[in-house]
Amino acid sequence: MSCKENSVGRVGPPVQDVHIKLVNWEEGNYKVTDQPCPRGEVYIGGNNVAAGYYENEAKTKEEFFTDDEGRRWFKTGDIGQFEPDGTLRIIDRKKDLVKLQFGEYVSLGKVESVLKGCPVVANVCIFGDSTQSYVVAVVCPVKEILTDIAAKFGKKEMEWDEMVQDKDVTGAVLREIMNHAKKSSLEKFEIPGAVTLTGIEWLPETGLTTAAMKLKRKPLSDYYEKDIKRMYNL
């Protein structure tokens, strides 16, 4: 993750009387000792923290606690990193963690964040299955770059819907993604083993993202169910 001083996407510093700390999340390989920026699950503490969830004692015990000093804490489930200037950036979500067939844990949000740095990727959603040994990806490609890739196969004049379904083009995109993932030091099990290209832009009005443009995993999983099964040869 980048820690550039002038980057965007931060939630800012804590407000007065609010305590924020990062706690190691071993399964996702996020640690407060990470360099150049400390990373971990975000805990929020102080008098502003609620007593718990209404009529849900089990969930309250799971996500709220009081420390030895009497301070109330809430485990947000968000993964954050502290920037050099003290501001906080949210970089992942614990609920995005998937366990694969041989016990490896994959943070879907982490992989997506890395792959969005691949030039051909406009947006991406990663899917994992506990019965499978690899993850798969559905990618919204950058049209201009995908057209350039198609041109290498003599298919530049293809209609968009045909281009995103073309096997040669899809294979080339998968290679681009794999190369980018390796250069970005993703683990082998974090690198998608198959990819589906989609010609649909994911917007709030499609029901596939929130108003803040965050992925809605369940609707995306339902929408691309057949593609996911095909990528897993199910």
The residues pairing with 66 across neighbouring beta strands, listed in sequence order, are 72
Q: Where in the chain is the domain with CATH 2.30.38.10?
A: 10-94
pTM: 0.71
Q: Where in the chain is the domain with CATH 3.30.300.30?
A: 100-231
Q: What is the pLDDT of residues 53-106, one digit of tens each?
A: 999 999 999 999 999 999 999 999 989 999 888 889 888 888 888 989 998 889
pLDDT at residue 9 in the model: 65
What are φ and ψ of residue 136, in 5° steps? -130, 165
Superfamily of domain 10-94: Luciferase; Domain 3 (2.30.38.10)
CB neighbour class for 135 (10 Å; exposed up to 12, middle 13-18, buried from 19): buried
Give the separation between CA 108 and CA 76, rounded to whole angstroms: 18
**Closest alpha carbon to 123 in 224, 27, 226:** 224
As a CATH number, domain 100-231 is 3.30.300.30
Q: What is the pLDDT of residues 164-207, one digit of tens each?
A: 999 999 999 999 999 999 999 999 999 999 999 999 999 999 99
The tokens for 99 are 């366990």
CB neighbour class for 214 (10 Å; exposed up to 12, middle 13-18, buried from 19): exposed
